[in-house]
Amino acid sequence: MVSKRITFREFLFILPILAIISVFSIWPILDSVKYTVFDYRLNDQQKSKMFLGDRFNTSAFNENTKYINFYLKKDMTLVEDTTQKQEFERIMAYVGEMISNYPEQSENIKLSASESSAMKEFIVTVKNDVTHLYEQNKGAGLKNAEGIQMVIDELNKCLIGSNFIGPTYYGQIFTDLRFWIALKNTIIFTIFSVSIEFAAGLGLAMIMSKAMKGIGAIRTISLIPWAIPTAVSALMWSYMYDGGSGIIAKIAADIGLVASPENLLLTSTGAMICAIIADIWKTTPYMALLLLGGLQTIDAGLYESSQIDGAGKIRTFLSITLPLLKPSILVALLFRTLDAFRVHDLIAVLTGGGPGGSTETLSIYAYKVMFGQTNFGYGSVIVMIMFVCVAAIATLFVKVLGADLMSKN
């Protein structure tokens, strides 16, 4: 087959969609990659922004140095020795000179290598001079010895070094046991929920495709779980799983599945099963809806011909329904697998990732790292691993289920 090169005029027609994809798809991915190579933490002043070189917080520097001079000036009045007073004045003049070199600014400024070295030398010198000065005047009853040392220590935080760490986090994540547990939980949840949803959804779709009395009501009722928001359905299931008053927890205890109703969500296996059941109830109608569209495109004459030839229902299903339903199966499994792999709200509301991380998926772990620990650098690495997994899943489905379809087209 000879491929036709796209003309410039044809390229102009697809240019708008390429621009939209670049802005809303490619740019966020590239931006996330940028976060992964920085130790970016909002709870740490020195790492709250991404810097490639040294930066200097002039606002904090001016505030701290003014406090140093304030404490020195107050304690100088308690000293009677003229030589010692001159030493106080010398240090205050030295600090004041440095203040004048860096007027307060709203943004952190960039320092050259020489300026950074000079600032580090200044902090060390001031610390040593002040320590020596207060040791020499121990008997003068100076009141701010402890306070001025704390302020000087804060000066180190004004000098902000680069938080660029390169691929360090990528290496760290492969030794992170919690990450591997979250990945295992995600895979278990995805395989079991999607497999059961596909089987149940296919059966439901075949029922809804039949022309029978009341089929409209059946279709409407079957789609109700999917219409309910995930957070609401998760909250509803949490009430039924509740060990104190939940009906499902009580039934599970009565038939011997758990020792007591309280144990249903307090064991790792029980919590995972509960999450999978809630997801199956919620998304099976969606799977059925996708497969129903495929079933309705199959020519009814094929079934009539199969019946005339004496083929049974199982033979008809395997030879006609399943092969012709393959495009819809590809779409349904692909959509649901990707959705299940990225599950967040169901687990967040139902178990929060517990007990003991037994239901913590990759999205839950990433959320806790990024917003609980405000470590956006490491959290972005987890998100990028999820992106790679999702891309691999999509490629696998297309290769396994969609190869024949694409070759035919």
State yes or no: pLDDT of 409 exceeds 50: no
In this prediction, residue 407 has a pLDDT band, given cuts at 50, 70 and 90, of very low
Provide mean pLDDT across the span 248-267. Answer: 87
Question: By the 8 A CB rule, do 248 and 264 touch?
Answer: yes
CA atoms within 13 A on the CB side of 373: 15
pLDDT > 60? residue 403? no
Same domain for 258 and 118, yes or no, is no
211 shares a domain with 326: yes
* Per-residue confidence (pLDDT) for residue 78, from 0 to 100: 87
Return the pLDDT at 401. Answer: 64
Cα(188)–Cα(261) distance, integer angstroms: 24
DSSP per-residue codes, 212-255:
-TTHHHHHHHHTHHHHS-HHHHHHHHHHHH-TTT-HHHHHHHHT
Residue where a domain terminates, one of 160, 194, 227: 160
Judge if 156 and 181 occupy the same domain: no
Query: Is the domain of 207 the same as that of 352?
Result: yes
Q: For residues 220 and 130, state if they share a domain.
A: no
Q: pLDDT tens across 121-166, in order? A: 999 999 999 999 989 888 778 888 888 889 888 888 888 878 888 8
Mean pLDDT of the chain: 87
Q: Are residues 117 and 220 in the same domain?
A: no
**End residue of a domain, out of 131, 160, 189:** 160
16 lies in some domain:
no
Q: Is residue 138 one of the residues assigned to a domain?
A: yes
Q: Judge whether 373 lies within some domain.
A: yes
Do 223 and 346 sit in the same domain of this protein? yes
Do 143 and 189 belong together in one domain?
Answer: no
Q: Is residue 35 domain-resident?
A: no
pLDDT of residue 211: 66
pTM of the model: 0.81
| Domain assignment of residue 12, yes or no | no
Q: What is the pLDDT of residues 282-321, one digit of tens each?
A: 999 999 999 998 888 888 888 788 888 777 888 888 888 8
H/E element, 374: none
Q: Which domain holds residue 256?
A: 175-408
User: Domain holding 362: CATH number?
Assistant: 1.10.3720.10
Q: CA 183 to CA 350: how far, in whole Å? A: 19
Cα separation, 265 vs 260, whole angstroms: 11
Q: Yes or no: say if 144 and 71 are a contact pair by the CB < 8 Å rule.
A: yes
Whether residues 74 and 133 share a domain: the answer is yes
- Do residues 72 and 194 both lie within one domain? no
Contact 351, 359 (CB under 8 A): yes
For the ranges 25-39, 193-207, 247-261, the one whose mean pLDDT is highest: 193-207
Query: Where residue 218 falls among pLDDT bands split at 50, 70, 90?
Result: confident
Inside any domain, residue 329: yes
Element (H, E) at 353: none
Whether residue 320 sits in one domain with residue 365: yes
Number of domains in the chain: 2
Rounded to 10 deg, the angle between the 326-341 and 177-208 helix axes is: 140
For residue 404, what pLDDT is reported?
A: 53
Which pLDDT does position 244 carry in this prediction?
83
Tally of residues, the chain: 409
Average pLDDT over residues 55-69: 88
Question: Residue 197 falls within a domain, yes or no?
Answer: yes
